[in-house]
Amino acid sequence: MTVHVDLLTARELASSRAATVSLLAPVVRFSLRVGADERDALSSALGVPLPTRIGQCSRQGETEILSLGPDEWLVLASESEAAGIIEACAAIYADAPHSLTDISDREVTLLIEGPKAGELMTLGCPRDLDRLPDGEARRTVFDGVSVVLWRDGAERFHIDVWRSFAPHVMSLLTTGCGELALE
């Protein structure tokens, strides 16, 4: 049986004294691939510096850029900024070849926050989250599902997960949130 889950409506999925798990509103997502020689041109065009170290994040206004690899970035932006990003990148393409792909419909973002948010994350994430500094992101797995995880504070995490795997990850986090509240 196929279970249909609304992944377009931002809402709280679970809340306890341990943690809160929420589905965030959809955002525009781009996968950006560019070589080192063109990095500065793309930073200027976007108005946000491309982080140079894997895991680093940079933000300007409503645009956030996460470095996922030596030549790969995830660009997150509001719907109102999407056209400007596309136009800015297209304008410099001849001089700074790159790949900008809209992946907005591929993923959803979950927010996990609260005094036991890190403990809740350990239900499915093998990484040592104490070693993940605030403001940094990593590509990792959550219960076998590929995700992008970033930390926004001591007790605050975001997870980008592919839509097709979101119900599984949401279910695990929701169950774990309730179980941690019983401790």
> In terms of DSSP bridges, do strands 63-69 and 156-162 run parallel, antiparallel, or are they unpaired?
unpaired
* pLDDT class of 129 with cuts at 50, 70, 90: very high
Q: Which residue ranges form the domains of the chain, and what is each CATH number?
A: 11-26+106-181 (3.30.1360.120), 28-102 (3.30.70.1520)
Banded model confidence at residue 114, pLDDT cuts 50, 70, 90: very high
The arithmetic mean of pLDDT across residues 155-166, rounded, is 96
For the stretch 86-98, pLDDT in tens is: 999 999 999 999 9
What is the pLDDT, as a whole number, of residue 159?
97
- Please spell the DSSP secondary structure of the chain, one letter per residue: -PPP---SS-EEEEE-SS-EEEEPPP-EEEEEEE-GGGHHHHHHHHTSPPPSSTTBEEEETTEEEEEEETTEEEEEE-HHHHHHHHHHHHHHTTTS-EEEEE-TTTEEEEEEESTTHHHHHTTT--S-GGGS-TTBEEEEEETTEEEEEEEEETTEEEEEEEGGGHHHHHHHHHHHHHHHHT-
Predicted TM-score (pTM) of this structure: 0.92
Task: Quote the pLDDT of residue 181.
Answer: 79
Amino acid sitting at position 8 = L
How many whole angstroms separate alpha carbon 105 and alpha carbon 102?
A: 8
* pLDDT exceeds cutoff 80 at 75: yes
pLDDT in tens, 161-174: 999 999 999 999 99
Q: What is the mean pLDDT of the chain?
A: 94
